[in-house]
């Protein structure tokens, strides 16, 4: 069963035919909200809002371990993370959809591993490719089949938040090789890896990052809602296709 974690701009999954909601208790505390189970075009899926259903949980206070443990416990076969980002790279414009392939982690103080405490052995996981290659390809193919343009590849800079970055910080991230900036990509990605969950991200550019484009003198918050509303409609279509909405049949080789 495919799991979708929604972020800013995707606090509900309107194309999910809901069958039940379940409050989950985990060894790591409570997830961001109840898991929502249902079907998309007759195929099972589950949804979890990363920031809670009232969008009340800031990025640095999300219980990432509880969220990923709950999805794994309910037998998710893969996780799609949807989140809004700021565009650093010059060709990224508000409304663009990006499938990143790398991460640089600038967060701090977040619970970033399941392997600690209670005599748990120190465990190192390979994180050379932080996003699952096959799942990224499936997202790309779903978008291509629908004629939805997506930027394939990019380095996601995960910052602490909840404040946005200074122009100087964005300059630093660019020098480090980052193309996108967001606040929730880590430790979500590495926790999924520790659990053996294929994980990939769909990043929606909500605005130019600080000091770039029309954000040269400040972020224009008034335009974000419209940009995200339109772009998330395309993201929902991609998710539908990914799950298998073409004539009710999953794409060849797809197992969700």
pLDDT single digits (tens) 166-181: 999 999 999 999 999 9
Confidence of residue 147 (pLDDT cuts 50, 70, 90): very high
- Measured between alpha carbons, how far is 198 from 178 in angstroms, rounded to an integer? 23
Average pLDDT on 2-10 reads 82
- Measured between alpha carbons, how far is 46 from 1 in angstroms, rounded to an integer? 7
Strand partners, 105: 158
CB count within 10 Å of CB 149 equals 10
pLDDT single digits (tens) 178-211: 999 999 999 999 999 999 999 999 999 999 999 9
> Is-contact 188 7, C-beta < 8 A?
no
Q: Which of 79, 80, 97 is nearest to 180 (CA)?
A: 97
Confidence of residue 222 (pLDDT cuts 50, 70, 90): confident
pLDDT of residue 53: 86
Does this model's pTM top 0.85? My answer is yes
Please state the domain extents for the chain: 2-243
| CATH superfamily ID and name for 2-243 | Nucleoside phosphorylase domain (3.40.50.1580)
Q: Which of 40, 38, 58 is nearest to 48 (CA)?
A: 38
pLDDT of residue 92: 96
pLDDT > 90? residue 118: no
- Measured between alpha carbons, how far is 236 from 256 in angstroms, rounded to an integer? 16
Task: Name the packing angle between helices 133-146 and 224-243 (round to 10°).
Answer: 100
pLDDT of residue 11: 58
pLDDT > 80? residue 89: yes
What integer best gives the mean pLDDT of the chain?
90
pLDDT single digits (tens) 10-68: 756 767 888 899 999 999 999 999 999 998 888 889 999 999 988 899 999 999 999 99
pLDDT of residue 245: 67
């Amino acid at each position: 069963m495919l799991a979708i974690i929604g972020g800013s701009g995707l606090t509900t999954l309107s194309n999910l035919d809901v069958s039940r909601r379940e409050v989950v208790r985990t060894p790591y505390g409570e997830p961001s909200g109840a898991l929502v189970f249902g079907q998309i075009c007759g195929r099972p899926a589950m949804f979890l809002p990363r920031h809670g259903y009232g969008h009340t949980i800031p990025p640095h206070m999300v219980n990432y371990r509880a969220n990923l443990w709950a999805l794994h416990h309910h037998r998710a076969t893969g996780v799609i993370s949807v989140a809004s980002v700021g565009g650093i790279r010059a060709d990224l414009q508000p409304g663009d959809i990006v499938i990143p392939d790398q991460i640089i982690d600038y967060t701090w103080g977040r619970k970033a591993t399941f392997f600690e405490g209670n005599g748990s052995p120190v465990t190192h996981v390979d994180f050379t490719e932080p996003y699952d290659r096959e799942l990224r390809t499936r997202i790309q193919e779903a978008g291509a089949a629908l004629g939805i343009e997506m930027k394939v590849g990019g380095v996601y800079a995960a910052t602490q938040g909840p404040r946005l970055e200074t122009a100087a910080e964005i300059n630093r991230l660019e020098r480090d090789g980052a193309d996108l900036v967001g606040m929730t990509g880590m430790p979500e990605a590495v926790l999924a890896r520790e659990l053996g969950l294929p994980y990939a991200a769909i990043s929606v550019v909500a605005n130019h990052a600080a000091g770039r484009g029309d954000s040269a003198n400040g972020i224009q918050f008034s335009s974000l809602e419209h940009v995200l509303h339109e772009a998330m409609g395309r993201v929902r279509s991609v998710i539908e296709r990914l799950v298998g909405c073409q004539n009710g049949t999953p794409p060849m080789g797809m197992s969700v």
